[in-house]
Amino acid sequence: MFEIFKDYISGKLIISEEDWAKIGSFAVSKQLHKKDYLLKEGSIRRFSAFVCSGCLKTYRVDDNGYEHITKFSMERSWAGDMNSNISGKPALFSTKALEDTELVLFYDEDFDQICAEVPGFQALMNKDLKVCMSSIESRINVVLSYSAEEKYHAFLEEYPGLSTRIPQYMIASYLGITPESLSRLRKQLAGSRMPLKLMTGS
């Protein structure tokens, strides 16, 4: 499981075997079953979590009891939101497994130590953070200026393959529309992709 994390980092940064041993000694494996929480709103998060397999949603429940999904996390990416990662503050969002999920955790102090001691690691995390931030910025642009249909396509591109792994109402929540609207939208899209011979009935 740690191998998946190692493979992910190795694609971006060359790290000596000695340093890998150090990183490995800090890594904590964690299994979640479907519907288990990685983090609950209001609790304090003291770790970073890398997803090896499975997927999770990060969301908030509003005053009316409606759930709003801000982010999905798939395999080979970091789970959860940064909001919950600012030390000391209670999380505003919850993160929950949507499938059985395998993670590698690094507790904050350990992670800081890795950043400080492994050459290039801090800079890599910094870059990862910037890329991640840039993608959130794009998402704001999507949410503000795209139609429901364009937002749906953006979702399909952002999370390839995810649309068949999770219920549709969660996609709707992520897009900021109702499940009914998404259902109608998809029906419409399917219609426009219909072969001609099927549309020219007597």
Residue 201's region, left for phi above 0, alpha for psi from -120 to 50, else beta, is beta
Stretch that binds a second copy, among 19-27, 66-74, 99-107, 183-191 (CB under 8 A): 66-74
How far lies 70's CA from each of 14, 32, 53, 83, 96, in Å?
Answer: 33, 20, 20, 11, 12
Residue 202 sits in the site that holds DNA (CB under 7 A): no
One-letter amino acid identity for 167?
A: P
- CA dist 50 and 111 (Å) reads 12
Chosen residue from 28, 44, 129, 189 binding a second copy by CB under 8 A: 129
Interior CA angle at 60 toward 79 and 96, to 5°? 40
Chosen residue from 126, 168, 178, 188 binding a second copy by CB under 8 A: 126
Residue 107 CB, nearest approach to a second copy (Å): 16
Q: 80 and 39 in contact (C-beta within 8 Å)?
A: yes
Chosen residue from 137, 156, 180, 184 binding a second copy by CB under 8 A: 137
Q: Which does 138 bind (CB under 5 to 8 A by kind): a second copy, DNA, none?
A: a second copy
Chosen residue from 110, 177, 193, 194 binding DNA by CB under 7 A: 177
Pick the closer one to a second copy by CB: 4 or 154.
Answer: 154
Stretch that binds DNA, among 37-45, 75-83, 114-122, 170-178 (CB under 7 A): 170-178
76-89 as b/e: b if 16+ CB within 10 A: ebbbbbeebbeeee
Residue 81 sits in the site that holds a second copy (CB under 8 A): yes
Residue 130 sits in the site that holds a second copy (CB under 8 A): yes
